[in-house]
Amino acid sequence: MADVRLGFIGAGAMGIIHLDTFRGAAGAKLAAVADVSEERAVRAAAEYGVEKTYTDSVRLIADPDIDAVVISVPNALHAELAVASLEAGKHVLLEKPMAMNAAEAEHILAAQQSSGMTLMIGHQMRWKAPIAAARRYIEEGRLGKVYYVKAGWLRRMGIPGWGTAYTSKAMMGGGCAVDIGVHMLDAALHVCAPRKPIGVYGAIYGAIGSQRKGIGTWGVPNWNGSFDVDDLATAMIRLNDGTIIHLEASWAAYTDGEENGPYLHVMGDQGGIVIRDSGSRFLTEAEGQPVNEVLAEPSGDGVERLLLAEHFLTCIRSGAAPLTDGWSGYRNQKVLDALYRSSETGSEIKIDDF
């Protein structure tokens, strides 16, 4: 079968990671790179042996030699570029979060449905071995009835690109909640599927970033820029069967301890799961004694990204819906919208059936 010819839109930090990952994926041809920065496009093309470069992504999308695009640009451009790509008959791997809000995500979903092309959202966490194992254990009934999930990702000093698109609500739609919070939200909703979110009570803060502190290593700060997004977000998400997901995320917060970094804890009436960077365990009890088992060995560095890339190529070939399909991106976006709205109103925000 012919290689899938890929066009990469955005050759920034994430675009380069995708180029590097797809270079190692069987059946992928790195065919074109587009970036508004010609220097970035040309540098990336030279490093990854890509033949064509564009500074206008509209021209890459119109290129008949391209089968599929990988979109890694600021979130404000996701909807416009994803819709144009789907309408032009390209398959789309779209970075997370899917869009700026649920209305935009719905627009992308409609373009996917009318075009019939493959649309996948870049939630690589789903391919981490412990998260995949958690889903399997729950399906096998080993946790009994799941009723409480704690999911989060806390960074002490991790604000990416202070003053760039990352800290602009107009460019990204939010801060840590839409950046790292959405990964853990997606993982938590995935292990709880087919339950659906029906309400969110949450709050956001920007206490550290507004002081120009808490700066991380992703991106280069622009001290002439501004910061108007969240650096800490917390939410109680109610699912339709009464299960609660407690989600928290921080780019910057004066916190330390075992929960720093991404984590997922799932509690059921017969067993539980704890996943942290340091390891993952299945917890239950037998004859009055606690029983702890290793859930899964951690995936090696970057393995989940390669599995995601391979899954995208497989879905293009088979026509199967990706694990992280447009619907899941839209669902995540509805929860994020409700979280921001709840922070404004101080009340729980109901999510309509969808």
Ligand X SMILES: NC(=O)c1ccc[n+]([C@@H]2O[C@H](COP(=O)([O-])OP(=O)(O)OC[C@H]3O[C@@H](n4cnc5c(N)ncnc54)[C@H](O)[C@@H]3O)[C@@H](O)[C@H]2O)c1
Contacts with ligand X by CB under 6 A lie at: 9-15, 34-37, 40, 57, 72-75, 77, 95-96, 122, 124, 165, 179
Expressed in percent and rounded to 5, the helix, strand and coil fractions of the chain are 40, 25, 35
What is the gyration radius of the CA atoms in the chain, in angstroms? Answer: 20
**Which amino acid is located at 271 in the chain?**
G
Using CA atoms, how far residue 180 sits from 13, 156, 177, 243, in Å, is 15, 13, 6, 22
In sign, the C-alpha dihedral spanning 274, 236, 176, 302 is: positive
Least Cβ distance, residue 182 to ligand X (angstroms): 8
- 73 or 245: CB nearest ligand X: 73
Least Cβ distance, residue 272 to ligand X (angstroms): 26
- 247 or 283: CB nearest ligand X: 247
Least Cβ distance, residue 21 to ligand X (angstroms): 11
Least Cβ distance, residue 322 to ligand X (angstroms): 14
- 14 or 237: CB nearest ligand X: 14
- 222 or 284: CB nearest ligand X: 222
Alpha carbons 210 and 91: distance in angstroms, whole number? 39
- 118 or 124: CB nearest ligand X: 124
| Closest CB to ligand X: residue number | 12
Alpha carbons 72 and 332: distance in angstroms, whole number? 18
Beta bridge pairs of residue 266: 149, 273
- 178 or 349: CB nearest ligand X: 178
Least Cβ distance, residue 122 to ligand X (angstroms): 4
Using CA atoms, how far residue 66 sits from 6, 69, 159, in Å, is 6, 7, 35
Least Cβ distance, residue 90 to ligand X (angstroms): 14
Burial class (CB within 10 angstroms; exposed 0-12, middle 13-18, buried 19+) of 211: exposed
